[in-house]
Amino acid sequence: MRLSQMLFVTLREDPAEAEIPSHKLLLRAGYIRRIGSGVYAYLPLMWRVLQKVSQIVREEMNATGAQELLLPAMQPSELWKESGRWDTYTQAEGIMFSLTDRQNREVALGPTHEEVITAIARDMIRSYRQLPLHLYQIQTKFRDEIRPRFGLMRGREFIMKDGYSFHTSEDSLKQTYADMDRAYRNMFTRTGLKFRPVEADSGAIGGSGSQEFMVLADAGEDEILYTEDGKYSANTEKAVSLPPDAVPSAFTTFEKLNTPNTPTIDTLADFLKCSPTQIVKNVLYQAVYDNGMTVLVLVSIRGDQDVNEIKLTNELVKLGDRFGGKTLLALTVPDAEAQAKWATKPLPLGYISPGLEDSYIGKQEKLHPKFLRLVDQTAVDLQNFVTGSNESGFHVVGANWGTQYPLPADVVDIRKARPGDRATHDPSQTLQTARGIEVGHIFQLGTKYSKALGATYTSETGEELPLVMGCYGVGVSRLAQAAVEQNHDNDGIIWPVAIAPYHAIVVIPNINDAAQVEAAEKLYADLNAAGVETLLDDRDERAGVKFKDSELVGIPFRVVTGRSLQQGKVEVVKRATKESQEIALADVVSTLKQWVQEAIG
């Protein structure tokens, strides 16, 4: 492709709409244009990158025996009502775009495709002989993200590879899951990115496994905790660790003390000259279940620790039966306005005790009349602890479970693991932290969707059983931008060769110099003929502008038909290292071909 004929517009200045380097660079280098909130046009250079990423994904998926298909983006509400996700996806979480057509039918734009694929499996899979089966697609997804940002990282319309596998047993699922783990490692290795597989939260469906693949980059939205020995890495949402040891309490008798202005753990520890590990902190949450039931949750946890709200959510979903709910619509720390709706009198905020009376909760329909009391293991282990007294300005010291407060029956692990904590597999290892961009997620689903939609098969013994399922996603467009976030410098993008829009760019410093033009035209034709995907910068621009643009756009190899032509040579520059060398005209094609092959493997 000739730049003179291409839609090629670069910007000198950073666009105001972009915060992180990759977003700025993709806009500046003419890869993407913002059309609306979270909605981007993939311009010709970007489209080539996306096709390369897609092709790598496709090849690795096909190698495992998965079959590609294409499902509709537009999906009828009936399927989502069958799975029970219509209300949560359109209202509660509200991440799904939905609309009503002229026939008054409700439809949605697919944020994901479990329902559609399970409906197909229900229709077409009859017997164990058809299993296992793995189907995938590469398609545009729609999600009404509350905070679309960072360009393609979190879009409202984006490209995803999503695959779904069907099995007769958990064992068969685990095999495909292991195949996907390998396939994903292969694909991300082939894209040339530094990545890390991590244990991930699998929500309340739980039980089985879930793993995310993180591209390592400082601007990543996810925090990863890992150990140096390479044996543990997890998303913080999921991570477990050993808490630091508690300092034994200096208080030996139970007393109530006047502790003015100590509503936080820090102020209290300061005032009492005690360690935060001697304090039981009581945090109030408000949970709303999908049946509309509001439950007030009182969590007791050791003072130096924090609640992991993902873990808390999972526990609350597990306890849903008690309140007639299956999932949570919301989990919040109730503010004054929320408290006013149910509290019978002002709460002793900052001074709450584990024994906060249920009489604080008014009698209302759809309001559970008692606190759901949960205690984290870190608080269970404390003796002679400090905690609130239910009276503003006062705390108690020397308290014990079973003496002053009954130990709640629901003991849970909802503590947030932190960098510096000791690892559970080997306490001599401490958790380190890194930031990552989630580009893939593999997940053992089990029978959640097959049961809900009635997707069954007939087993070898003639039994009708629900299909066991797995699902596997890759954020294709997010990955393309993550590559830039990980690989750039002050001058622009540094594409890994495997996903660069072009491998090489031939730059003619002066288009009025016939010898330069002739040599460049020949190289351009020969390189392309040899399979080295090459651009020709034949624009009527100053050489400096062309060099700057080639660096900004990030093409791996630049060939310049400049001064050294007189000696039958051209200058060849590697974008990543800026290393420059003179190469004889006759050797350019073979050299670049070799470099490209070495890089792509």
The residue ranges that bind ligand ATP (CB under 6 A) are 112, 143, 145, 154-155, 158, 160, 438-441, 473, 475, 477-478
CB of 109 to ligand ATP, least distance (A): 13
Candidate segments 393-401, 434-442, 505-513, 583-591, binder of Mg ion by CB under 5 A: 434-442
CB 393 within 8 A of CB 385: no
CB 256 within 8 A of CB 395: yes
| One-letter identity of residue 439 | V
Paired tokens of 203: 């929500």
Q: Nearest Cα to 238, choosing from 203, 192, 213? A: 203
- For Mg ion, the closer of residues 7 and 146 by Cβ is 146
Q: What is the DSSP string of 524-558?
A: HHHHHHTT--EEEE--SS-HHHHHHHHHHHT-SEE
CB 10 within 8 A of CB 552: yes
CB of 203 to Mg ion, least distance (A): 10
- For ligand ATP, the closer of residues 476 and 536 by Cβ is 476
- For ligand ATP, the closer of residues 233 and 477 by Cβ is 477
CB 570 within 8 A of CB 517: no
Q: Which does 355 bind (CB under 5 to 8 A by kind): ligand ATP, Mg ion, none?
A: none
- For ligand ATP, the closer of residues 238 and 569 by Cβ is 238
CB of 89 to Mg ion, least distance (A): 15
- For Mg ion, the closer of residues 205 and 517 by Cβ is 205
- The SS3 call for residue 416 is coil
CB of 143 to ligand ATP, least distance (A): 5
373 binds Mg ion (CB under 5 A): no
Element (H, E) at 16: none
CA separation for the pair 406, 354 (Å, rounded): 9
Q: Which does 154 bind (CB under 5 to 8 A by kind): ligand ATP, Mg ion, none?
A: ligand ATP
Paired tokens of 364: 């209302």
CB of 220 to ligand ATP, least distance (A): 10
Residue 556 preceded by cis peptide, ω within 30:
no
Q: What is the DSSP string of 325-349?
A: -SSEEEEE---HHHHHHHBSS---T
Q: Which does 440 bind (CB under 5 to 8 A by kind): Mg ion, ligand ATP, none?
A: ligand ATP
- For Mg ion, the closer of residues 150 and 251 by Cβ is 150
Residues 6+ apart with CB under 8 A from 289: 295, 320, 323, 324, 325, 326, 327, 328, 329
- For ligand ATP, the closer of residues 75 and 227 by Cβ is 75
Q: Which does 388 bind (CB under 5 to 8 A by kind): Mg ion, ligand ATP, none?
A: none
Paired tokens of 216: 């390592």
CA separation for the pair 557, 504 (Å, rounded): 5
CB of 216 to ligand ATP, least distance (A): 14
CB of 77 to ligand ATP, least distance (A): 20
Q: Nearest Cα to 35, choosing from 118, 177, 152, 161? A: 152
Q: Which does 112 bind (CB under 5 to 8 A by kind): ligand ATP, Mg ion, none?
A: ligand ATP
CA separation for the pair 598, 496 (Å, rounded): 12
Q: Which does 145 bind (CB under 5 to 8 A by kind): ligand ATP, Mg ion, none?
A: ligand ATP
Phi-psi region of 104 (alpha: psi -120 to 50; beta: other; left: phi over 0): left
539 binds Mg ion (CB under 5 A): no
418 binds Mg ion (CB under 5 A): no
CB of 213 to ligand ATP, least distance (A): 8
Q: Which does 227 bind (CB under 5 to 8 A by kind): Mg ion, ligand ATP, none?
A: none
CA separation for the pair 46, 41 (Å, rounded): 9
- For ligand ATP, the closer of residues 179 and 438 by Cβ is 438
Dihedral angle computed from the Cα positions of residues 10, 13, 16 and 21, in that order, rounded to the nearest 10 degrees? 80
Subset of residues 441 to 500 that bind Mg ion, contact rule: CB under 5 A = 441
- For ligand ATP, the closer of residues 21 and 473 by Cβ is 473
Residue sitting closest to Mg ion (CB): 441
**Rounded (5°) CA angle 43-46-49:** 155
Among positive and negative, which fits the CA dihedral 11, 15, 20, 23?
negative
CB of 221 to Mg ion, least distance (A): 11
Q: Nearest Cα to 438, choosing from 492, 470, 481? A: 481
- For ligand ATP, the closer of residues 158 and 164 by Cβ is 158
Q: Which does 155 bind (CB under 5 to 8 A by kind): ligand ATP, Mg ion, none?
A: ligand ATP
- For ligand ATP, the closer of residues 114 and 571 by Cβ is 114
Candidate segments 215-223, 280-288, 440-448, 494-502, binder of Mg ion by CB under 5 A: 440-448
143 binds Mg ion (CB under 5 A): no
CB of 477 to ligand ATP, least distance (A): 6
- For Mg ion, the closer of residues 118 and 210 by Cβ is 210
Q: Which does 214 bind (CB under 5 to 8 A by kind): Mg ion, ligand ATP, none?
A: none
Q: Nearest Cα to 519, choosing from 530, 506, 529? A: 506
* Interface with Mg ion (CB under 5 A): 441
